[in-house]
């Protein structure tokens, strides 16, 4: 009798351990870092702040010439962007953002929500508090974050080659000092000037697939030594020497 009681007790303990282990495993797969954690699977037709956070991270996987709206509404364009994100990283590509998609995003982001290959410092060589531009400091910094995620997508599409950002956010004072246009997108924090390898023309051509409404490069006045990309919603492309 005692032996049967011990066996029964051990069986209960083992079942409880297995159940707890499964719970911990499930919870572990849902954990992110200090930045953001999604609490539900997202699909077309849904809306909310979690959709907005998803859109920020997949907006760089837009269709040719498309700019993904970051509006918290999971529509067809967001679904297509999620699908391309999944394809880019070898995930099941169904356009539904679930645990595998979120796990990949978690792996791609640092604790401050920036993608692993870019930093706020790279996108702001002007003044660290993000003030003095055409928008509030909070908006300028948020715009820079969106730009970084687009650059991360572009970097991956180019074979994970490093991209060199020479200019990002500028205050009016900084913009004036470098001779920037009075209506420069740098004043909004959603622009980046790129140099180095790959070639400037490769950068200008590739940017058309990563959600950049503004693209200017070789052949456009003042842009023979860099390729400029920005997040304007209306398309304005000019890099004549590159066929853009």
Give catalytic residues, as residue numbers.
Answer: 223
CA atoms within 13 A on the CB side of 155: 20
User: Would you state the structure tokens that stand for residue 33, as one six-digit string?
Assistant: 């870092």
Scanning 1-136, the segments in alpha helix (DSSP H) are 2-29, 49-58, 76-88, 99-108
- The whole-angstrom separation of Cα 217 and Cα 52 is 30
User: Would you state the structure tokens that stand for residue 127, as one six-digit string?
Assistant: 């003044």
> Which residues in the chain belong to E strands, given as ranges?
164-167, 191-195, 214-216, 227-230, 236-238
DSSP conformational letter for 114: -
User: Would you state the structure tokens that stand for residue 167, as one six-digit string?
Assistant: 């200019």
Bridge partner list, 167: 193
Per-residue burial over 98-110, b = 16 or more CB atoms within 10 Å of its CB, e = otherwise: beebbebbbebbe
- The whole-angstrom separation of Cα 61 and Cα 199 is 21
- The whole-angstrom separation of Cα 182 and Cα 179 is 9
């Amino acid at each position: 009798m005692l032996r049967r009681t011990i066996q029964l007790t051990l069986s209960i303990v083992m079942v409880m351990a297995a159940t707890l282990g499964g719970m911990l495993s499930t919870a572990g797969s849902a954990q992110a870092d200090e930045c953001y954690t999604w609490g539900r699977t997202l699909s077309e037709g849904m809306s909310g702040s979690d959709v907005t956070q998803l859109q920020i991270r997949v907006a760089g996987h837009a269709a040719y010439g498309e700019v993904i709206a970051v509006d918290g509404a999971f529509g067809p364009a967001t679904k297509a962007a999620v699908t391309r994100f999944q394809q880019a990283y070898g995930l099941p590509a169904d356009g539904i953002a679930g645990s595998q998609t979120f796990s990949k995003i978690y792996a791609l982001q640092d604790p401050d929500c920036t993608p692993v290959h870019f930093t706020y410092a790279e996108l702001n060589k002007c003044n660290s508090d993000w003030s003095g531009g055409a928008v509030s400091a909070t908006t300028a910094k948020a715009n820079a974050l969106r730009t970084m995620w687009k650059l991360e997508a572009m970097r991956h599409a180019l074979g994970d080659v490093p991209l060199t950002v020479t200019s990002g956010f500028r205050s009016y004072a900084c913009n004036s000092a470098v001779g920037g246009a009075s209506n420069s997108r740098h004043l909004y924090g959603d622009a980046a000037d790129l140099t180095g390898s790959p070639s400037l023309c490769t950068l200008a051509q590739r940017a058309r697939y990563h959600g950049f409404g503004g693209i200017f490069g070789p052949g456009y006045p003042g842009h023979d030594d860099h390729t400029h990309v920005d997040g304007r919603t209306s398309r304005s492309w000019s890099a004549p020497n590159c066929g853009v």
